[in-house]
Amino acid sequence: MNKKLSVQQAFDLAKERYAAVGVDVEQALKHIQQLSISLHCWQTDDVVGFESAGNQGGSGIQATGNYPGRARNIGEVQADIEEVLTHIGGTHRFNLHAIYGDFGGKVVDRNQILPEHFTGWMEWAKEHNLKIDFNSSSFGHAKSGNLTLANPDKDIRDFWIEHTKRSRAISEAIGKFQEDPCIMNLWIHDGAKDLTVNRYKYRQILEQSLDEIFATPYKNMKDCIESKLFGIALESYTVGSHDFYMGYGVKNQKIITLDTGHFHLTESVADKISSLLLFTPEIMLHVSRPVRWDSDHVVTLNEEIIELAREIVRADALNKVHVGLDFFDASINRIGAYVIGVRATQKAFLQAFLEPLETLRAYEANEQHFERLALLEEAKSLPWNAVWDYFCLKNDVEIGEDFIPAIQQYEKNITSKR
Ligand code: RNT
Ligand code: ZN
């Protein structure tokens, strides 16, 4: 069987089928082609980074698994990402954490980082047609402890304020270089393992720290703030809760980052889109897959992700939502993890672009609720997969599971030798 031909034929039939429910497939293809996903650097190396003193582990974050082939230096991260890019269609972004700087073998503490530590990354990204996003890193350091920006100890707090200010200056330099705003995310793990009687105090300190950090206005970067439900070993209290950052973001017009692993498991992240967009300028997504908790499993095409994509499309908010990934599974082939996660996210958005929205809305306007539910249900099994295959074909990336042997080959030649 000629695969290309059958993909083309299936696509032609799908196009007709979609047209019958009022969906313009070509338009959907245009949208999915333009959907830029920010590939997080940290799945390559299990969130360790390249500081000379080493990531001091423990505090704030944890990857589990010890699958061989972790990237051990910047060159290996770049090679792995270049490999990932050969298996995904579209033009994407790259999301760097501050601990991935090129420190030239020197000990550069977090309050000393400079744009020059990231010029190599900027040049590499330009070469590969990627735009860079950035993150301050407050975990995995001797001063991380339980409290960073919310620490009552002024020395520790100032250290992290300085780190975060520098991260913004680096983001600004990146944004200027790439002539496209660098989206900088701020996430801190601050919290308490056990009961605290100072909830208000720590949040008040965090608010003051943020005010200080954000005092300098920039043109080429955008700030996002990411909440969390709880951190491991900090189960009783999280300073930067969703309420905290939502309040701060609305008051100060900052972008809220929604990490799909940072909410109660039955809470709908999709439902937050339309509310936040009314009161904050934009949204950053950390698409992740929580299994029982914020486990950061590889994103798969599940109902939560599809609904999230649908809500963004239904709100006509593509130009206000930045889509990034956030998972780190150290127990499987890491390149494969990326490819699965990116492709799943693209498939979710493609399904959203193919939703027969006009007809559904007409039903709703007429209070035809049976008809609305029926079409929503039928839409699930419309031939979106034929459109997906066609997208892969057009982008010259593997169709269906054909990327498996290609990734096995890279493992055999490259990662298994590390
Ligand atoms: C942690 C947050 C945060 C990190 C990355 C590495 O719970 O989700 O976004 O995963 O910054
Ligand atoms: Zn996240």
Q: How distant, in Å, are the alpha carbons of 204, 247, 249, 321 from that of 207?
A: 5, 10, 11, 25
Among residues 83, 296, 304, 389, the one annotated as catalytic is 296
The predicted model scores a pTM of: 0.97
Which bound ligand lies closest to the C-alpha atom of 135? 1
Residue 24 has pLDDT above 80, yes or no: yes
Q: Is the CB of 257 under 6 A from ligand 1?
A: no
Ligand nearest to C-alpha 259: 2
Strand partners, 167: none
**Interval between CA 326 and ligand 2 midpoint (Å):** 5
Distance 355 CA to ligand 1 centre (A): 31
What's the CA-to-centroid distance between 59 and ligand 2, angstroms?
Answer: 16
Q: Which of 137, 226, 293 gets mutated to test ligand 1 (max ligand atoms within 8 A of its CB)? A: 226
pLDDT band of residue 56 (cuts 50, 70, 90) is low
412 in active site: no
Q: How confident is residue 62, by pLDDT bands cut at 50, 70 and 90?
A: confident
- Average pLDDT of the chain is 96
CB-ligand 1 contact for 189 (6 Å cutoff): no
Q: Is 187 in the pocket of ligand 1 (CB under 6 A)?
A: yes
Average pLDDT score over residue span 118-147: 97
Tell me the CATH number for domain 35-356.
Answer: 3.20.20.150
- What percentage of the chain has pLDDT greater than the value 70? 98
pLDDT in tens, 305-346: 999 999 999 999 999 999 999 999 999 999 999 999 999 999
Alpha carbon of 43 to ligand 2 centroid (Å): 12
Residues in the chain: 418
For residues 290-304, average pLDDT: 96
State the ligand closest to the CA atom of 185: 1
11 to each of 25, 88, 106, 339, 375, how far by Cα in Å? 9, 19, 54, 23, 21
Q: Residues 236, 242, 243, CA angle at the centre, nearest 5°?
A: 95
Cβ–ligand 1 contact at 15 (below 6 Å): no
Single out the residue of 90, 104, 94 nearest to residue 127, CA to CA: 94
Check whether 58 has a pLDDT greater than 70: no
Task: Tell me which H or E stretch contains 131.
Answer: strand 131-135
On whether the CB atoms of residues 50 and 335 are closer than 8 A, the answer is no
Of the pLDDT bands very low, low, confident and very high (cuts 50, 70, 90), residue 235 is very high
Q: Is 46 a catalytic residue?
A: no
The pLDDT-based confidence of 137 (bands split at 50, 70, 90) is: very high
Query: What is the DSSP code string of 60-89?
Result: S---B---S----SHHHHHHHHHHHHTTS-
Which segment of 49-63, 64-78, 358-372 scores lowest on mean pLDDT? Answer: 49-63
Here the tokens at position 241 are 């809760």
CB within 8 A of 298, min separation 6: which ones? 289, 327, 329, 332, 337, 340, 341, 344
pLDDT 10s digits, 372-382: 999 999 999 99
* Mean pLDDT, range 217-236, rounded to an integer: 96
120-126 average pLDDT score: 98
Reported confidence tier of residue 70, pLDDT bands at 50, 70, 90: very high
Answer whether residue 53 shows pLDDT above 80: no
Mean pLDDT over residues 208-226, rounded?
Answer: 98
Q: Which residues are within 5 Å of ligand 2 (an ion), measured at CB? A: 259, 286, 326
Instruction: Please report the pLDDT score of residue 52 as a whole number.
Output: 83
For range 159-186, the mean pLDDT: 98
CA of residue 371 to ligand 1 center, whole Å: 41
pLDDT of residue 230: 94
Q: What is the DSSP letter of 329?
A: B
Q: Where are the domains of the chain?
A: 35-356
pLDDT (average), residues 82-105: 97
Catalytic-residue membership of 286: yes
Cα(45)–Cα(333) distance, rounded to whole angstroms?
A: 11
Q: State the pLDDT at residue 61.
A: 82
Marked catalytic residue, from 51, 80, 172, 259? 259
